[in-house]
Structure 1
Amino acid sequence: MKRLANWRLLSLFAVLALVLSGCRGENFVSALRPAGEVADMQFDLMKLSTYVMVGVILVVMIIFVIIFFRFRRKDDKDETIPKQVEGSHKLEILWTSIPILLLLILAVPTVSATFNLADVSPMDKKNSKALVINVRSHLYWWDFEYPGQKLVTSQELVVPTNERVYFNLKSLDVKHSFWIPAAGGKLDTNTDNINKFWLEFDDKRSNEAGNLFYGKCAELCGPSHALMDFKVKAISRDKFDAWVTAMQDIKEPQKAQSDLAVQGQDIFNKSCIGCHAVTPENKLPDTARQAPNLTNFGDRSRIAGILKHDKEKLKQWISNPEPYKPGNLMTGKYDEMSPQELDALAEYLMGLKVQE
């Protein structure tokens, strides 16, 4: 019975391994479905190291099986001592050379890729035409500044495809980590220095993913660390330029389009404007940005990075955000709003759009 139970357990693990081997995730959030140059390089390194490890395991297992059957004692009375190979120079050279060779196979492409990925010289050149984005991480949201375009957005990063996009990363409270799984590996955002790197989004694979990717915080930063998401819109250069132009045309807060939205705008100006900006050119210093920029809030695909983008979810978030993101800084500020005020404020915010 004990042996039967062990076989059942082994079968269960085998089935689970088979099922989990197919868990590659969605296109927009899976590191196993690369969508750009950086992700391709890192995925190739991952495959190379996997092939080397599997090869080593197979060779060791084959040697083990051969030795087990060939050199096992066939008779309990047989006390013959097999030929000893201790001190064999040939074997010493062999099992010293093989690890060195495997190390070189892994090290050479890894070092080459590391130096390639660390090359951010184009963004530091004078009068550079490279697209540079300053990423600022907060508890628990993201701020994206386009210094060349004089724009600031939050929670949704917009980038052109088929070209390198350069990032300056910094945190304004605690250590976070900027990670877009489908585009490339993560890099920390620190409070005392700026990290730099670049990513590139492939146009074809971006289209296959619906031009939308997920970004996440990859450094444990507090109770809502797992909910510190942002969205990435990867679009063609023409569409990106059109988006930039539409954002730059907003010189003052957008006007409400209905009577209910007018009431909401009045509530926003009295209760929310002290923390949230509704113009894309945010001239405030980094330390003065207390909450996400809402200029294009109506164009977003998620509320707070995690909730469905509709008025009902927005009202739930405004009235009581704590259940959705524990520890966020907005909790307790709007819990006394009446249902009519929430309706008006939601109507105004959902109308903040820069592109139809």
Structure 2
Amino acid sequence: MKRLARWRLISLFAMLALVLSGCGKPYLSALKPAGEVADTQFDLMKLSTYVMVGVILVVVVIFVLVFLRFRRKDDKIPKQVEGSHRLEIIWTTIPILLLLILAVPTVASTFKLADVDQMDKKNTKALIVNVRSHLYWWDFEYPGQKIVTSQELVVPTNEKVYFNLKSMDVKHSFWIPAVGGKIDTNTDNANKFWLEFDDKRSNEAGNLFYGKCAELCGPSHALMDFKVKAMSRDKFDAWVTAMQNVKAPQKATTASAQKGQEIFNQSCIGCHAVTPANKMPETARVAPNLTNFGDRSRVAGILDHNKEELKNWIKNPETYKPGNMMTGKYNVEKLTDEDLNNLADYLMSLKVQ
């Protein structure tokens, strides 16, 4: 009975795993590629799977044939074979061929995906994004456009986007599952690679992808998300122009937001920037740039983008992201409910489009 109960439990977990494997969104899955790099990686995954399944099938067929044909029928001892040069050559050659089938496209793809010569040219026209990872948020700088954003990466489709990645505290890892990656962000050196976002498949995903930190980096590692907005080149150029037109801190337009701006200037401006042309050195970026905060799709990368969730985050960020660097940076207990409401009004009004 105990053994039967154990098998029932195993069967239940197997069925649950099968059901859960169908959950999720297309923009979160590496099995639904949406770019050239993701296509290449997916093709390598399929190739290795086909090879492994083929090997398993051949071994199973040989096992069944040997089991049926050479099963013992009487007490006679069969002829003992010490070795066979032909068989030894066969089972040595086949693994070598399989390794070549796997190694050649893998090595070729590795060199292709590692080709970042274009971003190192003196007057390159390639779009370059400097990615800086922090506990637990992301910073995106467009040096050619003189723009800095945080938590939401904006990219054009159907062209290579080059990334220059570095960490400002501990090791993290930059990964956009549906588009490609992943690659570590280190503290002592910068890694480089490129991605391409397919226009058609980006449209199918709603032009929104999720990025993750894929390296265990602390208690809020699982919450270190960022969003990627993929759009046509024309829309991307319009977004760049709108960001570049924000030359000074945006002024509040309502009485509540004006009070919130005063609070922001007294307690938040020391860490957060509200202009896209962030001229501070990268080592001084201790908090996300909030220039286009009102245009974002998430608060702190994980919460719904609305006023109530924003107030909850400001009031107690440790509840949502344990170990974050914002906790304890200001005397939040001194802020009244009215102060929080005014500050939230100001931050939600920071839009550039």
TM-score, length of structure 2 as denominator length: 0.96
Structure 2 residue 270 is the aligned partner of structure 1 residue 271: no
CA contact (8 A) 1:319 1:336 kept: no
CA distance in 1, matches of 2:318, 2:14: 41
CA distance in 2, matches of 1:119, 1:68: 51
CA distance in 2, matches of 1:174, 1:119: 26
Q: Give, as a single letter, the amino acid of the residue that structure 1 aligns with 2:15.
A: V
Find 2:223's aligned residue among 221, 227, 247. 227
Question: How much has 1:11 moved relative to structure 2?
Answer: 4.5
CA distance in 2, matches of 1:180, 1:59: 36
In the other structure, the counterpart of 2:96 is 100
Structure 2 residue 160 is the aligned partner of structure 1 residue 164: yes
CA distance in 2, matches of 1:73, 1:16: 42
Q: Give, as a single letter, the amino acid of the residue that structure 2 aligns with 1:255.
A: K
In the other structure, the counterpart of 1:19 is 19
Question: How much has 1:13 moved relative to structure 2?
Answer: 5.8
Question: How much has 1:15 moved relative to structure 2?
Answer: 3.4
Question: How much has 1:68 moved relative to structure 2?
Answer: 1.6
In the other structure, the counterpart of 1:298 is 294
Q: Give, as a single letter, the amino acid of the residue that structure 2 aligns with 1:52.
A: V
CA distance in 2, matches of 1:166, 1:318: 34
Find 2:346's aligned residue among 328, 345, 348. 348
1:142-163 deviation line (CA, Å, top 9, x unaligned): 0000000000000000000000
Across the two proteins, how many residue pairs are aligned to each other? Answer: 351
CA contact (8 A) 1:318 1:335 kept: no
Question: How much has 1:3 moved relative to structure 2?
Answer: 6.9
Residue segments in structure 1 that go unaligned for 5+ positions in a row:
none
Alignment of structure 1 residues 108-187 onto 2, 5 Å:
108-187=104-183
Residue segments in structure 2 that go unaligned for 5+ positions in a row:
none
**Amino-acid identity (%):** 80
CA contact (8 A) 1:320 1:335 kept: no
Question: How much has 1:71 moved relative to structure 2?
Answer: 1.6
Find 2:249's aligned residue among 237, 253, 258. 253
Structure 2 residue 216 is the aligned partner of structure 1 residue 210: no
CA distance in 2, matches of 1:107, 1:55: 17
Relative to structure 1, the CA distance from residue 193 to residue 27 in structure 2 (aligned partners, 3 Å threshold; closer, same or farther) is same
| Pairwise CA RMSD | 1.5
TM-score, length of structure 1 as denominator length: 0.95
In the other structure, the counterpart of 2:44 is 45
In the other structure, the counterpart of 2:195 is 199
In the other structure, the counterpart of 2:29 is 30
Q: Give, as a single letter, the amino acid of the residue that structure 2 aligns with 1:161.
A: T
Relative to structure 1, the CA distance from residue 140 to residue 283 in structure 2 (aligned partners, 3 Å threshold; closer, same or farther) is same
In the other structure, the counterpart of 1:283 is 279
Q: Give, as a single letter, the amino acid of the residue that structure 1 aligns with 2:189.
A: N
CA distance in 1, matches of 2:25, 2:42: 16
Question: How much has 1:14 moved relative to structure 2?
Answer: 5.5
